[in-house]
Chains A and B, each alone.
Chain A
Amino acid sequence: MSLLHWAILSPFLLAIIIPLMYKYAKRVHTGWFVLWLPLVLFIYFISKVTKISNGTTIRETVQWIPSLNINFDVVIDGLSLLFALLITGIGSLVVLYSIFYLSKKKEKLHNFYVYLLLFMGAMLGVVLSDNLIVLYTFWEFTSLSSFLLIGYWYHRERSRYGAQKSMLITVFGGLSMLGGIVLLYVMGGTFSIRELIAQAGTLINHDLFIAAAILILLGAFTKSAQFPFHIWLPDAMEAPTPVSAYLHSATMVKAGLYLVARLSPLFAAEGIWLWLVAGIGLLTLVWGSFSAIRQTDLKGILAFSTVSQLGLIMSLLGLGAAALHYPIDDNIYIATTVAAVFHLINHATFKGSLFMVVGIVDHETGTRDIRKLGGLMSLMPITFTIAVIGAFSMAGLPPFNGFLSKEMFFTGMLSVLTLDIFNFETWGVLFPVFAWIASVFTFTYSMIIVFKTFTGKLQPEKLEKKPHEAPVGMLISPIILAVLVVVFGLFPNLLTDSIILPAASAILGDAMPADYHIHISMWHGFQPELFMTIGVVLLGIILYKTWPKWKVVYKPFTEKWSFNSLYNNGLKYMEYGSNKLAVNTMTGSIRNYLLYIFFFLIVSLGFTLFWKDAFSISLDNTAPIGFYELVLAVIISIGAISILFVKSRLTSIIVLGSVGYTVSLFFVLFRAPDLALTQLVIETVSTALFLLCFYHLPENFRKEERIRFKLTNFMISLGVGVVVTLIALSASSTKLFDSISQYYVDTTYTEAGGQNMVNVILVDYRGLDTMFEITVLGLAALGIYGMIKLRLTKQGGKKANENK
């Protein structure tokens, strides 16, 4: 176990101790005991930055299940390090924020921090694992801890609904991903991502390649809330705001992006991968930004905005993967990947700060509804400033970092126009158009967040609390993030060499030229991107100003036709359908179940007989039919058939007894004296028992009534008889081996000292069977005794003293 492994496992270990801290150190907010860990981890990962930016990768391995090729392999390269820094850095800020956000007295803090630490460790495991099975393990851990965190206020209906929804969707994706991982193992023979990527050239020709790509993408799309799996994210906003800021904007929802980026070198050779990643990303971008505008809940806006920004990064990753198809020099698609990485960082900073701002507004006013809010600017100046920075960055305005990544995004989208692989020249032209439209919507909802909340008229009567500025502790984290937004905006090259370039080259692998150099600048001349941004701002302002007038556009997109109602109805009808199925098949009537069983017996045996062409009759080994056998067969047939037609139960019992006696006569005829003896005694006893049962029947069951004729029953019984007869005929006609009975005949006396061969077999050669049949009889006797004596329920728990 290296230090790196302990770094991943440390949140889990701390999570074990946290409840004790909560219990025995009540006076201190539990968050303070948690805060040091992400900070230490952040510093630890910062210390790796120089090493990684020099192009080395750190790998450590610990054996877990070596026989199955599953080992806890950990690799840090540029991409993993970027995510690790995001997780620990924003994790620290979120913990700090939560200390002031969650009340020490009202909340179950130990639950919160245990879940949060579980999540943090799981997320670190996801981004640092090289083994796909280990990655999947941590992946499901993130789903689980996210479920717990969304349902943190479990007494609320909406929280439980949101938690269940996110669980169902992400676990659906996770399981698909597991399927993809298994397919990759089948193809490549290894779970290691690096080793799989090394084989990418040969794997592409495999039949399962596309299936693996689609299954893995399902996992990534559900986790990263891509269209149409985005519906869980807005409902996950029922979680406490620190959770929303951490999980549902900065880290967990980026796990899918991480996976896509990580596996791009493996799958990018396939056109479907490029089209799906870029296309679904773009669709998500447009749909998310379009839907965000109509929300009235601040967190709802932010949720859809997260969806759309994730789509943006996803489509950039998809187009960036095109770099793998072009020669190294002068490759414009590398810039697209760089833009994806850069926007990933930017989004984490501004979206984190915006969520915290919304949390503050919620905390200080008691509502998040923009129809009730307004005029908070003068009351909450610091919060307002942070909100402006975050929202303007999100809208893509200078001098914030969102502007830079938006410009790079436009560059990437415009580069589609020159993309000439996989038919991108046909519909690819839509990419820049949609990207531009989505940016206009993004601008509009960013303005709504800021100006509807902080400007306009204050409506104190609608607010639950008297609004005032938040405590300092709550402001620290968003201030740090907002400062980062500005710093990355003004000095973007701080990050390029140390973080962004290693991350991009980790994504692109061999396609990255060794001397590639990124220079991001605020001003890059009069390029088309700049005019696009100006257009976005102008149209965005017009849209914002005229917002109430064009609200009509949303009319057709009613709740009834949304993906939410598809999901809800889907669940409802699945439950309804399975309930119907269960009610209709599990009728509770033994007759029906017997019908199923016998029907299946007929179909499976009959089909096998037919399919294998197994039916054959040979008369070579048959003995001649004697006169007595014939007579007995006629008698037993008459007896068996007449049971079906007799009226009274008593008669059928007696006829059944006669059938049993005839069977014993058969035993006599076929020279089996021991069987005949036993059969006679047993038949007598069981007939007596049947008579006993008959004697105790209630009056109305003793009515003389013939068995009613039912066609299905008739067909089934005829079928069973025919099939079993056919099988018996075939079985006796095809004797593959001689019987082993000659051994018994020869050795009964010499080996076992007996002359009765049946009895010697029963107690000597195969005495074990006899022993357990004795056991069966003993159990039956005890059971009957118990059933008669112990009548606890019928008499209300009293001990029964009547035993007839």
Chain B
Amino acid sequence: MFNFVITFALVLISLSMLALIYRVIKGPSIPDRVIALDALGVNLIAVIALISIVLDTYAFLEVILLLGILAFIGTVSMAKFLEKGEIIEDDRNRNQ
């Protein structure tokens, strides 16, 4: 029963990831794609968590945390890029 629940959850998440991938490829505007990618990252977190349960190990909890951070950084930097045209501003050069 437990196994069935896990597998069922994985299948559902995979379906949602497929839907998100469709949005990444199709997504008419860039913000659509960015949000889809962010959601993909979160789904990946879920997948890894479920797989950790399947494999019965604690070893992948760092991976989950890392993915969370990466997804956040990625989305923020994308947002900043869309807003300002560059990610890391160089004030010193601008003043010259």
Contact = CB atoms under 8 A, between A and B. Distances in A.
A669 B51 contact: yes
A664 B77 CA distance: 22
A763 B81 CA distance: 39
Contact of B51 (A628, A654, A658, A677): A628
B13 to A, nearest CB: 11
B10 A681 contact: no
B60 A680 contact: no
Interface string B24-53: 110000000100010000001001100110
Given A628-B51, A680-B70, A671 B25 contact: no
Contacts of B48: 665, 668
Contact of A803 (B24, B44, B63, B93): B93
Given A671-B55, A681-B70, A665 B47 contact: yes
A197 B69 CA distance: 86
B62 A684 contact: no
A680 B66 contact: yes
Given A665-B44, A665-B47, A668-B48, A676 B10 contact: no
A734 B37 CA distance: 43
Contacts of A627: 7
Contacts of A65: none
A669 B63 CA distance: 12
Interface in A656-696: 658, 661, 664-665, 668-669, 671, 673, 676-677, 680-681, 684, 688
A802 B66 CA distance: 36
Contacts of B79: none
A680 B10 CA distance: 20
A290 B25 CA distance: 87
Interface in B13-30: 14, 21, 24-25
Contact of B25 (A631, A651, A669, A680): A651
B57 interface: yes
B70 A671 contact: no
Give the most central of B21, B25, B63, B93: most A CB within 10 Å: B63
B24 A654 contact: yes
A804 interface: yes
Interface string B55-96: 101011011001100100110010000000000001001000
B21 A684 contact: no
B21 A677 contact: no
Contacts of A671: 55, 57, 59
Nearest to A679: B63
B36 to A, nearest CB: 10
Contacts of A628: 10, 51, 54
A676 B55 CA distance: 15
B63 to A, nearest CB: 5
A398 B76 CA distance: 112
Contacts of A665: 44, 47-48, 51
A29 B67 CA distance: 90
Contacts of B33: 654
A38 B57 CA distance: 94
A673 B62 contact: yes
Contacts of B24: 654
B14 A631 contact: yes
A714 B82 CA distance: 38
A681 B62 contact: no
A673 B66 contact: no
Contact count band on A:
20 to 34
A654 B32 CA distance: 14
B63 A676 contact: yes
Interface in A778-804: 802-804
Nearest to B21: A658
A631 B18 CA distance: 12
A472 B31 CA distance: 105
A651 B33 CA distance: 11
A673 B60 contact: yes
Interface in A608-650: 627-628, 631
A688 B77 CA distance: 10
Nearest to A651: B25
Most buried by B among A668, A671, A681: A668
A791 to B, nearest CB: 15
B66 A681 contact: yes
B44 A676 contact: no
A28 to B, nearest CB: 74
A682 B57 CA distance: 24
Contacts of B57: 671
Contacts of B44: 661, 665
Nearest to B25: A651
A668 B93 contact: no
A646 to B, nearest CB: 8
B45 to A, nearest CB: 11
Contacts of B52: 668
B41 to A, nearest CB: 9
A673 B59 contact: yes
Contacts of B21: 658
A684 B7 contact: no
A673 B51 CA distance: 12
Contacts of B77: 688
Nearest to A662: B44
A683 B48 CA distance: 17
A671 B57 CA distance: 9
B25 A804 contact: no
Given A661-B44, A665-B44, A671-B57, A677 B70 contact: no
Contact of A677 (B25, B37, B54, B66): B66
A673 B59 CA distance: 6
Contacts of B67: 680
B73 to A, nearest CB: 8
Contacts of B47: 665
A651 B66 CA distance: 25
Given A651-B25, A654-B24, A673-B59, A684 B51 contact: no
A673 B55 contact: no
Contacts of B93: 802-804
Contact of B60 (A631, A676, A688, A803): A676
A84 to B, nearest CB: 82
A673 B63 contact: yes
B29 to A, nearest CB: 13
Contacts of B55: 669, 671
A677 B69 CA distance: 12
A631 B51 CA distance: 13
Contacts of A658: 21
Given A654-B24, A680-B70, A681-B66, 12 more contacts: A628-B51, A654-B37, A664-B63, A665-B44, A665-B47, A665-B48, A668-B52, A671-B55, A673-B60, A673-B63, A680-B66, A804-B90
Return the 7 tightest CB-CB contacts between A and B, nearest first.
A673-B59, A676-B63, A684-B70, A673-B60, A668-B48, A677-B63, A668-B51
19 contacts: A627-B7, A628-B10, A628-B54, A665-B47, A665-B51, A668-B60, A668-B63, A669-B55, A671-B59, A673-B60, A676-B60, A676-B63, A677-B62, A677-B66, A680-B63, A680-B67, A681-B66, A688-B74, A803-B93
